[in-house]
């Protein structure tokens, strides 16, 4: 079990106090699909966006486990799941690859703005025809003098319509070639880059989602992140952080949901007694508790393991599966515990369920995670017969 230092606990308290004051209108924002600009500003002011980044670039210089711990508190205290999701996307999609793989010049130019939250980041990976098939992407980047010229389109870009910087993954080699993908830092105002209207979706409605179109977009060579052909390596690193940070937030949201259900079951009466005294209701809430504790353990254990530079290929896939599936079960159980009040929009319980479903899809679907685990276990590799 991780023992948090007083400094880490104080950082959590500070972020939690700010987050708890946000989202008073989160249900109305969810209804209208409105991004909370004021909430973003307040989180920016408290320095949240700089958590894992070097102090010389304006960050707080915290390690991965501290970052995940603090983001869990954001999820617990902050009621706007869409805003929480946009925060994680901004930090991980743009800041993490810049810090780990960016040139000194790129980091000096852009990381301070990422840390400050004055420029919002997004990454464009998924394509309309490919879904989770990253290696089959069709967007191309062709070298031309001192630039690369990008052409193609990207789908389901979180923060797409509010982003100032977009990390674009494009093919510079043959389709299916593991060394055929390169990563580019592209400014939103680049000629030829256009962003579609925000896409209406089932959940996380306050986190803008959009398509991005690239029509002969010229990107200077010095805006390549890492090296040409290093895209798959960069994506692997980013996805580990994305799962731990994004789903660390979800653990916090699950904790808050559990507390709401316990309080409701203690105070809501039916047939002359609190509904929590009914064993079937109590059992649902106990299962929610087990899911919370299990999800939290996987998140923090895997973060510790990654921080120690251990192999976490299996751990990341299991963590993503455990947390995303537990979140859906927990949210569905909460609707059942609250009954009619859980089904109507006013209480925000049904919103939790809509928000939770997306977690089984983004950052690699549950099916992809199971396939990855099967591969690591040697189950779907061809066997050579002598």
Active site members: 242
3-state SS, residue 130: coil
82 contacts 91 by C-beta, under 8 angstroms: no
Q: How long a stretch of residues is the chain? A: 386
Q: Which whole-number Å values give the CA distances from 246 to 109, 190, 252, in the listed order?
A: 26, 29, 10
Half-sphere exposure of 70 (CA within 13 A, CB side): 30
Among residues 116, 134, 87, 352, the alpha carbon closest in space to that of 242 is found at 87
Total Cβ atoms within 10 A of residue 62:
19
Q: Which whole-number Å values give the CA distances from 379 to 356, 365, 375, 383, in the listed order?
A: 30, 19, 6, 9
What distance in Å separates the CA atoms of residue 173 and residue 220, rounded to the nearest whole number?
A: 18
Which tokens in the block code for residue 116?
Answer: 């400050």
Only one residue has tokens 């709401």, namely 260
254 contacts 329 by C-beta, under 8 angstroms: no
What distance in Å separates the CA atoms of residue 379 and residue 382, rounded to the nearest whole number?
A: 9
Q: Which helix (H) or strand (E) holds 121?
A: strand 121-124
What distance in Å separates the CA atoms of residue 221 and residue 117, rounded to the nearest whole number?
A: 25
């Amino acid at each position: 079990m991780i023992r948090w230092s007083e400094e880490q606990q104080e950082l959590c308290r500070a972020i939690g106090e700010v987050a708890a004051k946000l989202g008073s209108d989160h249900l109305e924002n969810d209804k209208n699909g409105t991004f909370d600009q004021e909430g973003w500003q307040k989180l920016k002011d408290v320095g949240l966006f700089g958590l894992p980044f070097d102090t010389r670039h304006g960050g707080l210089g915290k390690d991965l486990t501290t970052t995940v711990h603090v983001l869990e508190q954001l999820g617990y205290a902050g009621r706007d799941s869409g805003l929480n999701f946009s925060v994680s996307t901004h930090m991980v999609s743009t800041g993490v690859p810049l810090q780990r793989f960016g040139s000194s010049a790129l980091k000096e130019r852009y990381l301070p703005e990422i840390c400050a939250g004055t420029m919002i980041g997004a990454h464009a990976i998924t394509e309309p025809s490919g879904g989770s098939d990253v290696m089959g992407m069709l967007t191309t980047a062709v070298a031309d003098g001192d630039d690369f010229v990008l052409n193609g389109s990207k789908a389901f870009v979180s923060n797409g319509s509010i982003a100032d910087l977009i990390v674009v993954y494009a093919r510079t080699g043959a389709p299916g070639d593991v060394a055929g993908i390169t990563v580019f830092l592209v400014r939103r105002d680049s000629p030829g880059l256009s962003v579609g209207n925000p896409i209406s979706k089932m959940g996380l409605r306050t986190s803008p989602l959009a398509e991005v179109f690239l029509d002969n977009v010229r990107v200077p060579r010095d805006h390549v992140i890492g090296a040409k052909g290093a895209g798959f390596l960069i994506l692997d690193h980013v996805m580990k952080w994305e799962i731990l940070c994004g789903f660390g937030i979800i653990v916090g949201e699950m904790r808050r949901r559990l507390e709401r259900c316990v309080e409701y079951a203690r105070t809501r009466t039916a047939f002359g007694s609190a509904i929590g005294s009914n064993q079937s209701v109590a059992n649902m809430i106990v299962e929610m508790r087990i899911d919370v504790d299990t999800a939290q353990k996987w998140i923090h254990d895997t973060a510790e393991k990654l921080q120690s530079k251990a192999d976490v290929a299996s751990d990341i896939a299991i963590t993503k599966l455990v947390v995303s599936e537990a979140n859906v079960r927990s949210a569905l159980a909460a609707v059942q515990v609250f009954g009619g009040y859980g089904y109507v929009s006013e209480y925000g319980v049904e919103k939790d369920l809509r928000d939770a479903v997306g977690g089984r899809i983004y950052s690699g679907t549950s099916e992809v995670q199971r396939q990855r685990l099967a591969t690591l276990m040697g189950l779907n590799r061809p066997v050579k017969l002598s």
